[in-house]
Chains A and B, each alone.
Chain A
Amino acid sequence: MSCDFSTTLLHAYFDGELDAMRAAEFERHMETCRECTATLGAAESLRASLQRAQLYETAPPNLRKKIRAELKVPSATSGSSSVAAWKWFAAAAAILLVTGVAWFVVPHGHTGMSASAVTSTEVLDAHIRSLQAGHLTDVASTDQHTVKPWFDGKLDFIPPVRDYMDEGFPLIGGRLDVLGERNVAALVYGRRKHYINVFVWPTKEPDTPIHPAGSRQGYQWVHWRHQGMEFCAVSDVSAQDLHDLAQLFIQ
């Protein structure tokens, strides 16, 4: 190969698994490298074929029945609990149906944020990185009066920081992060046992309402602009939860 960009990294880029900086580096490289452009095109073509061919094979209905029957082996449990068990069955069946349908209706494509310079992949990467590296916060505090001044002098803007403990979104802390080669503030909120990253950076664009949630790989994100700031909240909590938090920022 004449190109010095490794094939492995190319595929990581293709899968949206490169961090924002390296992805940007690769995009610059692509502008001049025909070999990488061709390899990427081949990977895209292969993915399109795999999806068109509908190779996913779902479990036959009788298998589901058999497993259900096995799991329901009547042990010495009382009769009253079996009523409860049936209710759970119905609930589980409903969930099964919903997730089954959702899988086909919502493929893992890119949605939302298309107008923004920061890609969803970058936001998801930043979120996942923050959870992986054990580096969720640079300043850990539930006190907005501690977190907000911490950003002072570290960024060329001051993000709005408020605790929403009473609304069910306790502030956990803040951190500096990088999205699309720009420094951003990351505010970390809790939601039950989950974490939400709210990325904030300044913008000259006019306000936009809360964008419908995007979703990929089990993560959701919502995006909005408000009073000269651009926001993106990302988490594995429900889209509704993210929307509720976004509302609090706008109020």
Chain B
Amino acid sequence: MSATGQGKGWDVLDSQDRARFEQLVLPHLDAAFNLSRWLLRSRSDSEDVAQEALLRAFRFFRGFNGGDARAWLLQIVRNTCYTWLEKNRQVELMTEFDEDLHQQSTANPETLAIAGDNRERLARALETLPVRFREVIILRELEGCSYKEIASITSVPIGTVMSALARARQRLQRALTQPAQQEAPREL
């Protein structure tokens, strides 16, 4: 993972690479922070994790082939978040998310609209979703990523992205319209 034998990570990049990194990758810091904030459900933790991810990206920058810099960075951010969750909140990663799609019924649009107008409630409903559902909602609805981008960020096939999004939206609608049922453990 580290640039072994080449000294500290940033030393291996010359000033030209550094300039490119600042030009291509740093502008996506907000996207990096937003993703980690929602994956970790905490602003303070995500500051640390986003920072770590950016430094990691900087070390790996030589391996960046010049494609979509945002997707490339978000993939690193996501991996860093998962590593952090594994270490600190393993339970969250074990939450099953393979739920039956058939027992759902379409949420009543009015109830949904009323519930959705409350930012606090919406944020909480989003946080109750298993992390693998939450991430597709964040990437699609907040970050505006295409399925292809989400697939590359989360390292799954496009078909999986599609079905995860369909389920995630249904779960979120349900969490919004039947609140206070299964709140995820909030950190202290």
Name A's B-contacting residues (CB within 8 A).
1, 7-12, 15, 17, 35, 38-39, 41-43, 45-60, 63-64, 66-67, 70-71, 73, 75, 77, 81, 84-85, 88-89, 91-92, 95-96, 99-100, 103, 107-108, 128, 132, 217-218
Contact indicator A89/B22 (Cβ below 8 Å) = yes
In the complex, which residues 108-129 of chain B have their Cβ closer than 8 Å to any Cβ of chain A? 109, 112-113, 115-117, 119, 122-123, 126
**C-alpha spacing A203/B170, complex, angstroms:** 42
B102 at the interface (CB under 8 A from A): yes
B187–chain A nearest beta-carbon distance, Å: 16
Contact indicator A96/B15 (Cβ below 8 Å) = no
**C-alpha spacing A15/B43, complex, angstroms:** 29
Contact indicator A50/B123 (Cβ below 8 Å) = no
Task: Choose among A56, A60, A77, A89 the residue with the greatest number of B CB atoms under 10 Å from its CB.
Answer: A56
Task: Choose among A41, A46, A95, A217 the residue with the greatest number of B CB atoms under 10 Å from its CB.
Answer: A46
Q: Of the candidates B11, B106, B119, B176, which one forms a contact with A55 in the assembled complex, judged by CB atoms under 8 Å apart?
A: B119
Q: Of the candidates B101, B122, B162, which one forms a contact with A12 in the assembled complex, judged by CB atoms under 8 Å apart?
A: B162
Q: Of the candidates B26, B107, B113, B140, which one forms a contact with A92 in the assembled complex, judged by CB atoms under 8 Å apart?
A: B26
Q: Of the candidates B23, B43, B169, which one forms a contact with A46 in the assembled complex, judged by CB atoms under 8 Å apart?
A: B169
With A55-B126, A95-B23, A217-B145 known, 11 other A-B pairs at CB within 8 A are A7-B101, A8-B162, A8-B166, A11-B165, A45-B112, A45-B113, A49-B113, A67-B51, A96-B27, A103-B30, A218-B68
Contact indicator A57/B43 (Cβ below 8 Å) = yes
Q: Of the candidates B22, B51, B122, B170, which one forms a contact with A50 in the assembled complex, judged by CB atoms under 8 Å apart?
A: B122
B141 at the interface (CB under 8 A from A): yes
**C-alpha spacing A64/B38, complex, angstroms:** 18
In the complex formed, the residue of B with least CB distance to A109 is B144
Q: Of the candidates A45, A54, A59, A217, which one forms a contact with B146 in the assembled complex, judged by CB atoms under 8 Å apart?
A: A217
**C-alpha spacing A17/B163, complex, angstroms:** 13
A230–chain B nearest beta-carbon distance, Å: 25
Contact indicator B58/A39 (Cβ below 8 Å) = no
Q: Of the candidates B15, B47, B54, B112, which one forms a contact with A77 in the assembled complex, judged by CB atoms under 8 Å apart?
A: B15
Contact indicator B147/A58 (Cβ below 8 Å) = no
Interface size class of B (residues with CB under 8 A): 35 or more
In the complex formed, the residue of B with least CB distance to A80 is B15
**C-alpha spacing A42/B106, complex, angstroms:** 7
Contact indicator A39/B106 (Cβ below 8 Å) = yes
Name B's A-contacting residues (CB within 8 A).
8, 10-11, 15, 18-19, 21-23, 26-27, 29-30, 32-34, 37-38, 43, 47, 50-51, 54-55, 58, 68, 101-102, 106-107, 109, 112-113, 115-117, 119, 122-123, 126, 137, 140-142, 144-149, 162-163, 165-166, 169-170, 172-173, 176
A222–chain B nearest beta-carbon distance, Å: 20
Contact indicator B116/A59 (Cβ below 8 Å) = no
In the complex formed, the residue of B with least CB distance to A54 is B119
Q: Name 11 A/B residue pairs within 8 A (Cβ), A-sorted.
A: A7-B170, A45-B116, A49-B122, A54-B119, A59-B32, A67-B26, A73-B8, A75-B11, A91-B22, A91-B23, A92-B22
**C-alpha spacing A50/B148, complex, angstroms:** 22
In the complex formed, the residue of B with least CB distance to A63 is B47
Q: Which residues of B contact A71 (CB under 8 A)?
A: 10, 18, 21-22, 55, 58
In the complex formed, the residue of B with least CB distance to A98 is B27
A55–chain B nearest beta-carbon distance, Å: 6
In the complex formed, the residue of A with least CB distance to B144 is A108
Contact indicator A42/B107 (Cβ below 8 Å) = yes
**C-alpha spacing A69/B114, complex, angstroms:** 45
Contact indicator B122/A66 (Cβ below 8 Å) = no
Contact indicator A85/B162 (Cβ below 8 Å) = no
Task: Choose among B55, B106, B112, B147 the residue with the greatest number of A CB atoms under 10 Å from its CB.
Answer: B106
Task: Choose among A17, A35, A45, A52 the residue with the greatest number of B CB atoms under 10 Å from its CB.
Answer: A45
Contact indicator B116/A53 (Cβ below 8 Å) = yes
A59-B33 CB under 8 A given contacts A8-B166, A48-B116, A67-B51: yes
